[in-house]
Structure 1
């Protein structure tokens, strides 16, 4: 196997993409290549996440990059099972002749991701700490947006997914996350 670390100038990767172009051109990538991703590049996109605003500058996030094939396969199985239950009504609706073609493509692309998630070389989770028993989505989602923009800038495909949360405790255990 080739060393993915040797192929990328991490310090310069993504530094030349103009901000507004990155915002305009970042989209959910659901057909991902299985190529190895250098850990330094994973760290770089996570670092971009840390520059997101958060109330009181609490930065209530933690990043977990899953690269182990067995753990990715287990996570992908949980995701796929939850996703198929979630997407069933949309799949049925997409069969109607008057269903918009663009939406049909989106449904099929999302289904492809669910069925091939185990092939992605990295599953990057951005988890958040609770405060007074409440999730801090208002802080987590700007962080995730920064990560997605950074992935776009450095040439990595990425897609925000949340269906795995229906298996919250099991996923958290697989990731080694604390209870809060």
Structure 2
């Protein structure tokens, strides 16, 4: 099992991202928006097909790929690109080439606790650090869970019986006290 399976990575730190976006030729307004976004990344694998889903305040993008094959994609900032992915253990190396833009490389280094993403274009590098969080999925009900849910009505009935028994016992005790008081008055 790979260290990134079953996890979602949330951005916690950005280093040099503004300069990186500037080198890519992103306009000032878009740079400001992209710099302030909160993003999460999920990497999934089904057989030989991988997918990277990136979710931000601006929306969600998903790119599906096979290793060492060129795919067409639309980047988060709306550019059309040709991309390829290569894997070295828990590292993914992502090469992107856009029209009217400089080629860039993203290295994603996954560990159990974090994702360190190094983004480079020309001689400018940026680093984004993401923290790992488990993805919560609904757990299918097991037979024992079904047995427990069937047992609950019995427990409720038992408690009702206990309290009604206790109520009767209390009433009997009150009647006995009243009888004793009446007997004492009579004597």
TM tier, shorter chain?
under 0.3
Q: Which of the pair is proportionally richer in helix?
A: 1
Instruction: Normalising by structure 1, report the TM-score.
Output: 0.23
Higher RCO, 1 or 2 (CA under 8 Å, sep at least 6)?
Answer: 1
Instruction: Normalising by structure 2, report the TM-score.
Output: 0.22
